[in-house]
Amino acid sequence: MASSTKSELPLGSHRALRLANERRILAMLRRDGPSSQAHLARATGLSRATVNNIAKSLAAEGVLDVRPGATGRETTVSFAAPHGTLVAVDLGHRRIHGSLISLDAKTRLDEFAELGREEDGGIDLQTLAAVVHRLLERAGILPDEVRAVCVGLHAPFDASSGRIAPTAILPGWEGFDVRAALRERLGFEVIVDNDANFAALAEWTWGAGRGSDHFLYVKSSNGIGAGLVLDGRLYRGSNGMAGELGHIVVDDRGAVCNCGNRGCLSAVASGRALLLQLQAAGNIRTSLRDVIEGARAGDAACARVLVEAGHHLGTALAHVVKVIAPSTIAIGGELAAAGSLVFDSVQSAITEHSLRAVAAPLRILEGIRRADMCILGCVAAMLTELGAGVSDLPEWLLRPTDSRIRGSA
């Protein structure tokens, strides 16, 4: 058996160690934003000399920006401005939202297309591809100038098989190898994940979850989903479908869920469920926003269903808290706009059902209240994939230069 020389082993081990240390520093910058070298040394456990050497090296490569701090004695390290063009797509139940992000021009173009009711994944693929190509045409961007493409799915995505789980959500896509189908149709390698995971990544990168290594994001709108960050990394589980909070049973006498169980959180506390409850009582409301406005205007039935939704949500979260003990929970989506009507009952239910020792340090916060959280999370995921980052959420990324809405393509 051939043996390695003494010079070969240290070379390989030093290279691997340096790469691991670089990843730790970049992870801290994504978590904490612009930081002093002293903070990075404390947070990573590396020596200040090691942090200084890595920061200088990555700055020379254009990855990091190292500048004197306010006192002139301590340097501040942040991500350098990334370059190139990214495309993010939010594939919903009835609508596709595409966004082209030019990191050089600091502009964002958005395009929307309504999906038909054919429940045909092939037709949806055509519509999605048309949205992406229109964005490129409007921006004057050639396909080979696109650095990354990301698609968020409003459905449980089995990362191990690349397919959408068999549910009534996006039924036309069941059986598709989603990545392969998107790659073939678009002509790009594509990052794919569940929309709640991307929303959680955006909230953890730039919102209420920033700085928390154990974070749970809840998206509560027409449906209910969640994303988990554990030990500073997005946690997907063995098959990519961790975080299906909406299918925790909270009322075994409740409504039947589309998954086949009875009393799932989504079946009793989602926006869709609240509208059905009010309709059964003769109180017709058109949207969750309408329900919240009704409660604020003094409608007792609207207030009642919101308080009960908060209690159901808190009960589900109490069980999650016992298992993973997050330090921060952020509640986003349309339901968060109900404010104290929901948050008070969430906190009450968690207090009622949790173990005091586990729940003591828990923070429950309102998440970023935006409809494009999946798009923002796609941006964060693509930057991470490219080894880049944006330490602070830039204002231009929140304001599309131009948005267009079209019918089915």
131 and 98 in contact (C-beta within 8 Å)? yes
**Per-residue pLDDT, 409:** 44
**Per-residue pLDDT, 308:** 96
Q: Which of 196, 251, 193 is nearest to 220 (CA)?
A: 196
* Model confidence pLDDT, tens digit, residues 11-44: 457 888 888 888 888 888 877 778 888 889 998 8
What's the full length of the chain, in residues? 409
Residue burial 88-122, b: 16+ Cβ < 10 Å; e: rest = bbbbbeeebbbbbbbbeeebbbbbbbebeeeeebe
Average pLDDT estimate for 335-364: 84
Q: How far is CA 273 from CA 39, 126, 161, 265, 280, in A?
A: 46, 31, 31, 9, 11
Per-residue pLDDT for 340 more than 70?
Answer: yes
The position carrying tokens 């809405």 is: 405
Contact residues for 8 (Cβ-Cβ < 8 A; gap 6+): none
HEC secondary structure over the chain = CCCCCCCHHHHHHHHHHHHHHHHHHHHHHHHHCCEEHHHHHHHHCCCHHHHHHHHHHHHHCCCEEEEECCCCCCEEEEECCCCCEEEEEEECCCEEEEEEEECCCCEEEEEEEECCCCCCHHHHHHHHHHHHHHHHHHHCCCHHHEEEEEEEECCCEECCCCEECCCCCCHHHCCCCHHHHHHHHHCCCEEEEEHHHHHHHHHHHHCCCCCCCEEEEEEECCCEEEEEEECCEEECCCCCCCCCHHHCECCCCCCECCCCCECEHHHHHCHHHHHHHHHHCCCCCCCHHHHHHHHHCCCHHHHHHHHHHHHHHHHHHHHHHHHHCCCEEEEECHHHHHCHHHHHHHHHHHHHHCCHHHHCCCEEEECCCCCCHHHHHHHHHHHHHCCCCCCCCCHHHHCCCEEEEECCC
How far is the C-alpha of 368 from the C-alpha of 313, rounded, in Å? 18
Task: Fold for 208-366, please state it.
Answer: Nucleotidyltransferase; domain 5 (3.30.420)
Residue burial 23-52, b: 16+ Cβ < 10 Å; e: rest = ebbbbbbbbebebbbebbbebbebeeebbb
* Model confidence pLDDT, tens digit, residues 133-150: 999 999 999 999 999 999
How far is the C-alpha of 182 from the C-alpha of 189, rounded, in Å? 8
CATH architecture, domain 85-198+371-406 = 2-Layer Sandwich (3.30)
How far is the C-alpha of 271 from the C-alpha of 262, rounded, in Å? 17
Q: Outline which parts of the chain fall under CATH 3.30.420.40.
A: 85-198+371-406, 208-366
Per-residue pLDDT for 1 more than 60?
Answer: no
On average, the pLDDT of the chain sits at: 87
Average pLDDT estimate for 167-185: 81
**Per-residue pLDDT, 107:** 93
Average pLDDT estimate for 320-324: 90
Task: Fold for 12-79, please state it.
Answer: Arc Repressor Mutant, subunit A (1.10.10)
Question: Where does the pLDDT of residue 360 fall: very low under 50, low under 70, confident under 90, or very high at 90 and above?
Answer: low
Average pLDDT estimate for 386-399: 84
Contact residues for 41 (Cβ-Cβ < 8 A; gap 6+): 47, 48, 50, 51
The position carrying tokens 């500048």 is: 67
The position carrying tokens 């509640």 is: 331
**Per-residue pLDDT, 404:** 76
**Per-residue pLDDT, 3:** 39
How far is the C-alpha of 142 from the C-alpha of 133, rounded, in Å? 10
How far is the C-alpha of 386 from the C-alpha of 54, rounded, in Å? 18
Q: Outline which parts of the chain fall under CATH 1.10.10.10.
A: 12-79
Average pLDDT estimate for 238-247: 85
* Model confidence pLDDT, tens digit, residues 214-237: 999 999 988 899 999 998 888 988
